[in-house]
Amino acid sequence: MTSKVEQLKQHLYRRHDLGHANAVLGWDQEVNMPPGGVNARAEQQATLQSIAHEIFTSEETGKLLEAAEAEVAELDYDSDEASFVRVTRRGYDKLVKIPTELVAEMARATAQGFVAWREARQENDYPHFQPHLEKILDLNRRIADILGYEEHPYDALLDTYEPDITTAQVTQLFTELKEGLVPLLEEIVEEGQPVDGAFLEKDYPVDRQRDFTEVVLRQMGYDFNRGRQDEAPHPFTISFSRNDVRVTTRLFPNRPQSALFGSVHEGGHALYEQGIPEKFERTVLSGGATLGLHESQSRLWENMVGRSRPFWSYFLPIFRAFFPAQADGVSLEDFYRAINKVQPDFIRVEADEVTYNMHIFVRFEIEQAMVDGSLAVADIPEAWNSKYEEYLGIVPPTDTVGVLQDIHWSHGTIGYFPTYTLGNVIAAQLYRRMAQDLPGMEEGIARGELLPILDWMREHVHSYGSKFTAPELLERELGEGLLAQPLLDYMRAKYTEVYQL
């Protein structure tokens, strides 16, 4: 006889297939779709999402879930079966409250919002995007009300991206970070030895950039038989199964670091998705757990590994082989300092490690005000610019490089940004422990040996799929909660040396 857990699993296969099919449509929209396709695509995505939602929130799911819960009552919290049922329950209790019509409305609003955002960004025309953002914000506020919250409506949204962590906890953590990072940035700006990165502004043919990033991705352990890399204006990683995990990058002739670290960053996400055990396929446990955990993988690879001296001690000779004229006379030290140059600037995804979190502080505060209604959508650009002045000492000259730079709101995601800094925080915690566990790791990186890192992550993070929330996983693997100190220590040590403070 088929167990209840198995019945629940099979009942939900279709939901996961629809979710992944929808992901293919989303990937296509950003990588390939001609402009004319937008309206039909919006309807198609709304249909897939609605049907998936109906299946998941059906009475049958509810009944099978109850029966499965009884069946796993005696099993370990960590077991595959109990975790499958528990994580399904968490999602079910949220989504069963949200009417299908609202899901479809969000799908339509975001399909159209995405196009409007892209046009608005190109034309520096925030008012063109404003009505779409108003609609999307309104839908998010309705969702927050439906889901419920104790302190702040933002809690309800944040919890969908990062369960088990509240707005108050994030605020506390970000305050600690500010106390360490703001003075560090001041010291760098005022006392640091200047960094010359002029060689990065030379002309780097984009085809060679693409080829070089593929060399790096392969060395990291990214499996091109189970993925591919394309170009997209806003790089992202997407998974259609553990065996088809795609990354995107962006290629600018005079800014090779954009493709380089974009690819390494997305590669970190992709290694996570490719590393989820096969046994979780087509279930809620497939795919990475939370956004913060996901971002810990990408940021660890991008910054702690990818912007480290040992990494470039191995890769610089290969980089020189690809770009002999451009890298002519550039020493490892020059290169290392150039890719770690700290400079307050407008664009989050191009930001250095130190200022990056300032970009997140701005968004975290603005989003809270949007959601609780204290900031009108029309007034966001002004609030945005004044917070940039406060945290980074600069004012964006246009909305294109200001409030319109990020894709997230157009995709309907509000409450997502703080997970980037949570990712940095978790990355530093994981990296500290990994370095203790793997003596000689950095010497290995200098020889191009990146697989021990991947193996460590496979064991301590990837193998669990979506079983655990971030606090659960940290407690279990590191025996600690979210901590600001490892990130602050890492930053202080690295930049004291880079800038000879």
Site string for a second copy, 50-69 (x = CB under 8 A): xx------------------
Name the one range near a second copy by CB under 8 A: 19-27, 178-186, 362-370, 395-403. Answer: 19-27
Q: In the complex with a second copy, which residue's Cβ is closer, 396 or 465?
A: 465
- The residue within the footprint of a second copy, chosen from 5, 8, 12, 25 (CB under 8 A), is 25
Indicate the DSSP class of residue 331.
Answer: -
Whole-Å CA distances, 371 to 173, 193, 364, 365: 21, 42, 11, 10
Sheet strand arrangement including 237-241: 229-231, 244-249, 237-241
Is 179 tagged catalytic? no
Place of tokens 């080829």: 211
User: Which of 266, 273, 302, 367 is labelled catalytic?
Assistant: 266
- The residue within the footprint of a second copy, chosen from 10, 28, 119, 437 (CB under 8 A), is 28
Residues 6+ apart with CB under 8 A from 99: none
272-291 positions binding a second copy, by CB under 8 A? 281-282
Report the distance separating Cα 396 and Cα 8, nearest Å.
Answer: 51
Q: Is 230 helix (H, G, I), strand (E, B) or coil?
A: strand
Q: State yes or no: residue 17 binds a second copy (CB under 8 A).
A: yes
Name the one range near a second copy by CB under 8 A: 46-54, 82-90, 191-199, 440-448. Answer: 46-54
State both tokens at 75.
């099993």
Closest CA to 98 of 50, 133, 62: 50
Report the distance separating Cα 272 and Cα 269, nearest Å.
Answer: 5
Question: Cα 173 vs. chain centroid, distance in angstroms?
Answer: 19
Beta carbon of residue 273, minimum distance to a second copy (angstroms, whole number): 12
Q: State yes or no: residue 118 binds a second copy (CB under 8 A).
A: no
- The residue within the footprint of a second copy, chosen from 130, 243, 398, 485 (CB under 8 A), is 243
- The residue within the footprint of a second copy, chosen from 1, 2, 36, 324 (CB under 8 A), is 36
- Is residue 37 a contact partner of residue 252, using CB atoms and an 8 Å limit? no
Beta carbon of residue 53, minimum distance to a second copy (angstroms, whole number): 13
Name the one range near a second copy by CB under 8 A: 72-80, 115-123, 225-233, 398-406. Answer: 225-233
67-86 positions binding a second copy, by CB under 8 A? none
Compute the residue count for the chain. Answer: 501
Whole-Å CA distances, 227 to 214, 221, 246, 278, 337: 11, 12, 5, 16, 32
Q: In the complex with a second copy, which residue's Cβ is closer, 112 or 419?
A: 112
E strand residue ranges, 194-336: 229-231, 237-241, 244-249
**Using CB under 8 A as the criterion, which residues of the chain lie in contact with a second copy when the complex forms?**
13-14, 17-18, 20-22, 24-25, 27-28, 32-37, 39-41, 43-44, 46-48, 50-51, 223-228, 230, 240-241, 243-244, 246, 281-282
Which residues are designated catalytic?
266
